[in-house]
Structure 1
Amino acid sequence: MQDDPAPVKYAPQRLHAIRGELLHFVADPADQGATSTEHLPDGVLLIENGHITECGPADALLSRLPAHIPVTDYRGKLIMPGFVDTHIHYAQTDIIGSYGEQLLAWLEKYTFPTERRFADPAHAAEVAGFFCDELLKNGTTTAMAFATVHPTSVDALFEAAQQRHMRMIAGKVLMDRNCPDFLADTAETGYADSKALIEKWHERDRLLYAVTPRFAPTSSREQMTLAGRLFAEHPGVYLQSHVAENRGEVAWVTELYPEARSYLDVYDRYHQLGVRSVYAHCIWLDDADRQRMADTGATMSFCPTSNLFLGSGLFDLDRAHQLGVRVGIGTDVGGGTSFSMLQALNEAYKVLQLNGQQLSAERAFYLATLGGARSLYLDDRIGNFKLGKEADFVVIDPAATPLLARRMAHTRTLAERLFVIMTLGDDRCIAATHLLGERAYVAQS
């Protein structure tokens, strides 16, 4: 185990202002309609020590600012809270866009051989740096990520995120059966390695740890027991896994855990449902499962691009909402086909169309910002521009391409503009990304 890294001092101790078109959410548009949205066509964020001290109309705020306060002028651009990606695999960066398999075959053919390389700290560090930069290039400022079974892979990701001042939630994969020998840990080593990583990284700067059983089929009953124990023993840590992504996977879990009522019930039996537990996919669940997630405070991560790419199925957002389940959006790279949350929202709209449901542009961007923050129980720190929040935000260029500019000329409302951005937009729309008020990415002119 490496020595504990030194804390990183984030933002300069200074007051500065950001000017542009501001948009953020104070509630779910599905619940509160137009009152959920706050929009300032010409607004200013005041930021000090990395946190928002005021948000309001430019004419009112600028008139009382001392002349020496620097103002970054983004007029003509749309400024929103940074995007929150609730499920992604950093170690799968190099297999994004791999052809032709569904979930279980995908793991065998692509994932496991790729993850083997993360035993090498130099390789893990190189991928982690690229991964974090790619997130920032796409406007994502907070992510919940899987590493691999190797503790060095966790160190590499947290070090890269810490250097960039990103908020990152991650953990070592637990996997002691039904996987190649070169990736298998044991129940005991998985527990010990995870415990050491929690002590090293959890709540260091902006980093948070997630206990990470890959999914029920690749953990023995003993490992599942110890994963639940880790979750209980360390208040404030997260737990992340996968559930009910693919029908073949669901059938396999039924064979492996015949005593469980359902796939989700496996996790419940091992005390892995609760506040800050996040489950990717959640497609092949029934209402008893959804209600149990709502009752325990567990979160669903809706991963539309990977669900379509791997042929897994269609997420039921309406039913999750009706039963009160927290939902965030995940890109799920590398089964997902883009780091862009804009493209994830684009595909989410299509998934719901196929499922007989609708996704408004306002609600889509809520899910990518405040909704994501709520799903991770971080809405006291990030997700909108309320007083005291961490100043993570993305600057979107609505005319980033000739087609976008042409299409925008034919829009009349904010909702239309947002819908165009999420259907035609990608990383080219991201003019800048700020972490704790400071510019962490700027598009090349």
Structure 2
Amino acid sequence: MIRRTVKIQLVAFLAITLLGLSYVSANYVGLTDALTNRHYTVNVDLTDTGGLFENAEVTYRGVTVGEVDTLRLTRGGVRAVLLLERDTLVPDDAIAVVAERSAVGEQYLDLQPKRRTGPYLSDDSVIPADRTRLPISSTQLLVNLDELVNSLDKDDLVTVISELDAAFSGTGPALQALIDNGNAVLDTATENLEPTTRLLEDGRVVLDTQLDSADSIREFSKHLRSLSEQIDSSDPDLRRLLDNGQLSAPELTSLLRTVDPTIGTLLGNLVTAGGIASVRLPGLRQILVMYPDVVAGGYTVTADGTSHVGLVIDLTPVPCTEGYGSTPKRYPQETADTKANDKAACDEPESSKTAVRGAQNAPGPTGEAPTDPGASGRSGGGTSAGMYRYDASTGQVTGPDGGPVRMGSSGGQQRVFGDDSWQMLLLGPLGK
């Protein structure tokens, strides 16, 4: 009589056997697929297996979606029957690529579609041979390698190998240290990825700023080159000045110590006066041209101790009368005070044959100084820059708009001094 313990063991063994048979039938025999219809078949025509085998994996975008069921010979090559999971949607333009998973040659089939939308592969769909890719065979690889080796000159190849041996022989520890340090650098770079990215982004902003200032930088470089060329051409004079300056240095030092309390104020006033004079160079030039003639003519009045007065009546050229029509006539008997007509001026062009006169024809200040909004709209041959006023008690200069004229980095030098504004780089600090 069988004991109860033995019966329990037999029942447990039978249950395990049935479970094992069920698992094998479901996963290896294909009983589950036959009963549940979880897969659909796709046929792939290949010119060669390329090492592909039955039960090899089938992947779609790197994810396993089925397996190779069977391989059948055909007149054109081999047909691989694929079992794909029913819920897998593969576009019907997919390319079947036989690829190797590892160096030992474990092949699998990868489906690579050209689009992401339908139509999709279905039961008994066929992927033709012109949409398949096979790996290069070992035979072809060896043939190509042999052709490559034979195409090389043996003597040159020996030379290259010998030189490589001479270059790297005994450098194993150094190369290992280089690789280790390279890995450390990469690790550090990875740890500081965010600061590096932020640095590159901020650097782009800086570079864009420099790009926007390219014209100004180019102009500054041009002026700097001119200054350098001038210094180079004056090298002998500078050397002579430095050599002779040793003798005059003590005297200059004594002079500077004497005038030290007031030199700053003096230079500041000179800078202001020079700025005002520089924008009025045309007028100063006209004065320097005409003043000698005026002085020389003045001496002829009393050259022999007596006064000589000459009167020349000449109506050539005729006087200018255009532009004075707005002035009303006044008769001698009118003695009341009347405001002068400051709008009256000669309207004749400078090319007129009449005697064109008026202050508007005098050379005016140069530069781009603001004009007085309340000034007359008439302008002469010069470029009017308005009236600059200097207050001796405060040392400030006010422009035509009433605002102070500042020689700073905001463009004051260029506006007032024009092309000579670069000199303020040297003279400006001395006046502070």
Q: What TM-score do you get using the length of structure 1 for normalisation?
A: 0.20
Q: Pick the structure with more helix per residue.
A: 2
Relative contact order, higher structure (CA 8 A, sep 6+): 1
Q: Pick the structure with more strand per residue.
A: 1
Greater Rg by CA: 2
